[in-house]
A and B are shown apart, each in its own frame.
Chain A
Amino acid sequence: MAEEVILLDFWCSPYGARVRIALAEKGVKYEYREEDLDDKSSLLLEMNPVYKMIPVLIHNGRPVCESLIAVEYIDEVWRGQFPLLPSDPYERAKAKFWGDFIEKKVHEPGKKTWKKKGAEQEEAKKEFIESLKLLEGELGDKPFFGGDTLGFVDIALIPFYTWFYSYEICGHFSIEAECPKFAAWAKRCMQKESVSKSLPDRQKVYGYVLELKKILGIE
């Protein structure tokens, strides 16, 4: 049976980018469909009735929702040469732990670095940097969290990097200065074609953030 793979996505969504990178790493051909988040397609509403959000991976007509669940699904269906998750159960558990950590401890405070001001912003910056430092510790001396190749945690994390530039400008701080190891890891990831081709230009993302700030009435 011919495989039909469709990805409902939005150009600067880091969640969508995770799925794009995973598909690229596995060499899976798919149809990319850009959603207008202010006018969601009937397909999106049908395929993700619970959240009505992108990304949605549609494989042979069946939807897989939630970015990390989709990445794991891709890893299981297209096993191939380069597994994204380790085979050892303890290492897998660690990878999933850090994947989950990114949402709670990187994305959450990260958002506040451009959405908030004053003491709240300072607190968010502190938490954000602390989280990057913890991730640096987990990375250790490895080139990637996945070892020699991109793994689950790399894929879960690198898409947020294009947003970090906006955090730095809005929050007046430098990630490279605070977490040089992290910055070096990010550069290595960006050299991979599966990553660079899947991520939007960070200047474009910054432009989008400025638009959002206007809409939300943030200085």
Chain B
Amino acid sequence: MASLSSDEWRAICDKFTNAQNLTDVESRNDPENDPFRSKYKARELLREIYCSLKSFEAGEGDEDGGAESSEQRTAEPPVDGQREDGFGEGFSGDSPAGLRAAKLGAVEYYLGVNHVDTEELSAGEEHLMNCMKQLARCRVTSENVSLFIHVRNQLGILWAGRDETETAQGFLETAESIYQRYMKEDGSPPTDMTEYFTSEEKLPTHQERTKRFELAYTHTMYYLAQVYKNLGETERAATYCHTTLQRQLQLNQFSPMEWALNAATLSQYYITKGRYMEGRHCLSAATVISGLAGEVPSEAVAQESETESDRREQLRQKRAEIARCWIKYCLNLLQDSKKLLEDNIGELDTDRQEELKRARRQEEEDEEKGRKSALLFGSEDTFDSIASLEEKVCCLFPLDFTEARGVFLVGQNYVKQAKEYFQMDGYVTDHIEILQDHSALFRGLAFFEEDLERRCKMHKRRVDMLEPICNDLNAQYYLLIRRQLMFELAEIYNEMMDLKLTLANRQADTQSLDNHTIKKFNSLCSASAKYFQMFLDSLCSPEGKVPEHLEEEVLRPALVARFRVARLHSRLISPLPSAQLDNLNKSLENYKYVAEYCESHPEAAAAVETELELSKEMVGLLPLKINRLKAKMATNN
């Protein structure tokens, strides 16, 4: 640097500061018709810096000769992913030659980013690759490691934008391994690239250096997450998102609410994969970190100021969103456990239950091990609160009523929280979805309830929360939601009907039912049929015509509804032969529909295989039963 006077050096530093300012600040105010004005100005300055560096420092030793030969050595532009760059031979980062290469590389880097920003990708690539060439002459040291990472991040972005995801992956994965090796072998706070052009008095602190360097690597993680996502490797992508979140927290580079919501969303990914331990961890962290955003301003305070009212809205909404993610956790855990434990008719399989309970101990040990190897969130002060929140709900499948109830209660509590924000008035769709989840939580719990009377009451609770809404909603705007509600209500009434019958049979010990039970049974049976019929009617045209062709998404529900209506009509209990006949005819009509529809639409048969087989049988058998009844009626008359 002997040939560069301090004034000249200061001029370079000023130009650099200017260029940075133009790029980061001024450019935001560029007019629509000249959107890159400031960036072009910055480019000029960078070019001048480059020329100064080249001319002043040329001939200062043997680097140029060295550069020639090294350029021959790397005549093929280095493609990452093939070898581990930077830790082999070359100038040491802190040698004069190494520093000179790093500085020239940094200017190339900034020129590259500048060209990419102005949508001149090829020129941008060239500059970035020039930076790579400069670096290829050096070993990785604390003086240049930051540039090693940054330039690869940028090349990753560039190639991903060109749809060359694998090339992008190569650059980013090398950045990852350079970081890891550097941290293992050196780990001292590295020089930030801006320092190359900063006068002594403005140099950043160690802390600041570390922060910037770590942030660059956090970006590497984040970009890799996206690259893996685009390559279809969702599991890896999720791990990298997880790491990104973890690093944001560790390095204290996050905004609490945004972070919390992201963690809550990530939990939903884990839930779909059945990874409840990770899901719970994300959710607990989300709840704890969202708490860092502070108290919700009271309504009174919110009315005073717009900022406070905004803050109130934001906090309440995001916390309600997190609560909804918790609801899904509890719900899916209950449902998955039910799937494990149910026998072929959907009842609790006690043998299976015993077996799973025996296997539990092993699982608990595994859970402990899993926790140790998992990527855990938390800083010193949040770690314990996250852990204690995790203890409030299990992440293993509940195996009996007590355990199921624990999960249910946690879920129900979040239902309450979520509903406080997502009220019916203002948030109809959200509110109903929460109610549907609440109903599903009850359904999950009812499976574990052995007392049939109490089980029946749980189903009644479901009816009470869904029925009024189904009837009040505007049929045009909420057609699809209403269809869901109708179907669910039909199923609940059916379930209650079965329970009543089982109960009555248990008590009476005989086949004969008393009048009260028959009345109850019939009313539940009719209610179920009514809602299935409502569902079917909702599929009709405005003129009430039954559709000739059922859309794919309603095909199975529609045929199953027919099948079940048929069944329900044949179960209605009536002493009057004429009413019996009526019911049987209605039943036959619906079985016939299923059989005939599948005959004229052969592609539908696969969706309702068993139901179709039985419907066909019934179409054969029911007329015989009807004829017998008719004959009996004729004899009796």
* A and B together in one complex: no
Interface residues of A, Cβ cutoff 8 Å to B: none
Interface residues of B, Cβ cutoff 8 Å to A: none
